[in-house]
Amino acid sequence: MAKKILLVDDSNTVLLMERMILSHGRYELCTARNGREGVERAREERPDLILLDVVMPEMNGLDALAEIRKDATTRDIPVIMVTTRSEASSMETGFARGCNDYVTKPVHSSELLTKVRNLLGE
């Protein structure tokens, strides 16, 4: 059975890129356009992994991550943060809120695939 990945980003361009990169791995993909929708979709879909953008309208990625970690049904889902900034401070906040890993934009396919496969135990 194909592993399910939830992609959360407000940018169509990023969602399209992530879809194209991950389609090689034969994953089942679902998307959300902001943090709030991402939290809801995570509860509904129970994905095996979440790719979560940091800067988004309505609810940003860090707050969405906190919500995901609070909910018993989603707290164990591995989360990779997707960020434009690689500064230690923003990464520390992400890790403090429970993200498992992060990638920086522009997203490199080999880096993303390696991290996704690693967290999915492949």
Partner 1 sequence: MSGNGNKPKHGYVARVRDNTRRYIEELLQENVRLRGVIDTVGREQQVLRRQLDDLRIDLDRREQQHARLLALLGAAESAARGFEDRFAEVEQQNANLARLYAASYQLHATMHRSEVLQAIQEIVINLIGSEELAILAGGPTLTPLASMGVDEERLGALDTSAGALGRSLATRAPVLCDQDVAGIKASIPLVVGDRTLAVILIFGLLPQKPALDAFDRELLDLVATHAATALYCAELHEGKC
Q: With contact defined as beta carbons under 8 Å apart, do 46 and 2 qualify?
A: no
DSSP label of 12: H
What are the Cα distances from residue 13, in Å, to 9, 18, 33? 9, 9, 12
Burial of 73 (0-12, 13-18, 19+ CB in 10 A): exposed
CB of 30 to partner 1, least distance (A): 18
* 57 belongs to the binding site for partner 1 (CB under 8 A): no
Least spacing, CB of residue 41 vs partner 1, in Å = 21
Is residue 24 a contact point for partner 1 (CB under 8 A)?
yes
User: Residue 13 interacts with partner 1 (CB under 8 A)?
Assistant: yes
Q: Is 2 in the site for partner 1 (CB under 8 A)?
A: no
Q: Is 96 in the site for partner 1 (CB under 8 A)?
A: no
Secondary structure (3-state) at 20: helix
Q: What is the smallest separation between the CB atom of 71 and partner 1, expressed in angstroms?
A: 29
* Residue 35 tokens, joined: 């943090």
List contacts with partner 1 (CB under 8 A). Answer: 11-14, 16-17, 20-21, 24, 84-87, 104-110, 113
